[in-house]
Amino acid sequence: MFYWIYDIPSPQLAVMITAVFVSFSWVGAVFLRPILRAFLKRRADINDLVGYMLSCFGVFYGLLLGLLAVAAYQNYTSVETVVSKEAATLSALIQDIKSYPEPERQNLIWLLRDYTRYVVKYAWPLQRRGIVPEEGNTRMLAIHERLAEFEPKTKGQEIIHAEALRQFNNYLEARRLRVFSVTTSIPAVMWIVVLVGALMNIALVWLFDMKLVSHMFLGGFLAAFMGLMIFLIASLDNPFRGEISISSQPFEEIHKSLMEE
């Protein structure tokens, strides 16, 4: 539902999310605080009671935000590792294929050139929209068929061919891991808990007995920090979306080297 946020530049998105939280805090302090305060009898220790409650709630909510931030960062780094492994395996496969005799070498290089161009020009933009690219399967099948048709004529060619087939299988595994990672994200139910918890945290601040200016100042600081935390988690949540996303640069470099062949 909220994937449209990844179409917004990161600085603007950070300001927008922070502004939403701060605005909610300020509007509530002006219009909702008197209503909530009406349910509490005026007593001298009201600030102490609310402070204890906010401290307890803040510990659990802070742990939740911290765990989510770590989980989002781990998802991002793990997917980045998968992409790096895929690119490294593809480079090793290309080096093996360069040892093939002609015309098999040139035919395989052409197929790999077409495949890397597809990954850079078409697959990556689809991944940025959360769509799993499927056309790459056809191109990989063509490469596999070409490898299977090759018949080594010398012992050296047998060794090179066996190594190329091994690298090709390794690449298929790495590629499948990358495709599976396109939809990697934090479950929606956790986002619901985070947003509801943020609203409750801000609402607790409204219960303090202090001047409106103090409410606006302290509540705004708390809301701004929560907004920045949620922006951080959201930016890392989907590794292939937004400005803070995994780049296709490794495949661009491979495609550039293949174009020079």
Nearest Cα residue to 171 out of 251, 58, 232: 251
- With a CB cutoff of 8 Å and minimum separation 6, the contacts of 55 are none
Can you read off the two tokens belonging to residue 162? 């066996």
Can you give the pLDDT of all 261 residues of the chain as single tens digits? 678 888 899 999 999 999 999 999 999 988 888 887 777 666 667 788 888 888 888 889 999 999 999 999 999 999 999 999 999 999 999 999 999 998 999 999 999 999 999 999 999 999 998 888 888 889 999 999 999 999 998 898 999 999 999 999 999 999 999 999 998 888 889 999 999 999 999 988 888 888 888 889 989 999 999 999 999 999 999 999 988 899 999 999 999 998 887
pTM reported for the whole predicted model: 0.86
Cα gap 241→127, rounded to integer Å: 7
For CA atoms 62, 63, 68, 71, give the dihedral sign.
positive
Can you read off the two tokens belonging to residue 23? 């605005």
How far, in Å, are 209, 251, 254 from residue 261 at the CA level?
74, 16, 11
Rounded to 5°, angle at Cα 136 from 130 and 142: 175
